[in-house]
Amino acid sequence: MTDRLTTLVDQDVKPRGPLQAGLDDRFDVTVGGSNVPAELIADLEGVDVLFTTSRLPLTEAVIEASSLSIIAKIGTGLDSIDLEAAEEHGVTVVYTPGMNARSVAEHALTLLLAVKRNVRIGGNALRDGKWRDEVPNASPVTDTTVGIVGFGNVGSRLAGLLSGFTAEVLTSDPYVHEIDTDVTGATLTDLETVVSESDAVVVTAELTAETEGLIDAEVLSTMKDSAVLVNTARGPIVDQDALIEALDAGSIAGAGLDVFEEEPLPADSRLHEFDNVVVTPHIAASSEVARTNIVETLADLTTRYLAGEPLPERFVATAADAPVQE
């Protein structure tokens, strides 16, 4: 690297003011970045530092062709970055696990309530000149059973929020011990039980080889026909075609989705056609407070890395030549 640091900031990284304030005059910042790998390779030519969201596909080919020294990634999910390639090519990757968990948990609850309380159905009725007598009665969340698939930072916080609804919380997560559910009172069980016994199933798991396509046609078929599905994790965890088939058949009561197999969700997606489906554009983690704290943290981690200072272990995904402190 030269004394000047060519820096690319993904256009989805916001707010940019606090990020820029945390960087000194060495950083020559450009905003952009294509989500098409071949175009991203060109965008990263000569770039030393990248601040990114999951929008940019940092594949092996992209990383191999780049001159990156550090990738600073917003959020917890690292599925958009080939970490093995980063390590092999000497690229340090830092991220912010858990810092947006409360925001995502709140959004999951928002989607759950929006679907259960017929928010979209009611809004469409008003638009069409109708009134409450033409809107079906809402379903409660209070005193129901909510299943959470994945009990990490987001899932555990969602369970805490649900305590205010006196909901029974079931959860499945092969990497969690029963002691991890004690504080929230959630019951750790298997996926089949979570899906079949819950009035709502909320997906908060990380996208991995194990979870890709986890919520498929077979799993959806075991849900109650009065239950709803919420996904604020990653789109590919849910088989979207199977979900649409279940909605068509009325074998589930609705869905609240912030993430999709293809993003942005196409305007002609059939998911837009269902009154009992509420969709949002992958904004669960994007609260003002959470994002500000995250970009400030990423700016600090990056400047510390470049100064050769040790980085907290929890924020480091790969450490090519960065000292790490526990």
User: Taking the mean position of all CA atoms in its chain, how far away is CA 302?
Assistant: 23
DSSP 207: P
Rounded to 5, what percent of the chain is helix, strand, coil? 35, 20, 45
Q: What is the dihedral sign for C-alpha 109, 104, 272, 211?
A: negative
- Choice among 117, 263, 270, 304 that is catalytic: 263
Asked about 120 being catalytic, the answer comes back as no
Asked about 234 being catalytic, the answer comes back as yes
Identify whether the C-beta of residue 302 lies closer than 8 Å to the C-beta of residue 24.
no
- Choice among 107, 120, 234, 291 that is catalytic: 234
- Coil, strand or helix at 306: helix
Collect all residues with Cβ–Cβ distance below 8 Å to 73 and sequence separation of at least 6. Answer: 52, 53, 54, 80, 81, 93, 94, 95, 96, 298, 317
- Choice among 102, 157, 282, 291 that is catalytic: 282
Bridge partners, 5 (sequence order): 27
Asked about 262 being catalytic, the answer comes back as no
Q: Which residues are catalytic?
A: 234, 263, 282
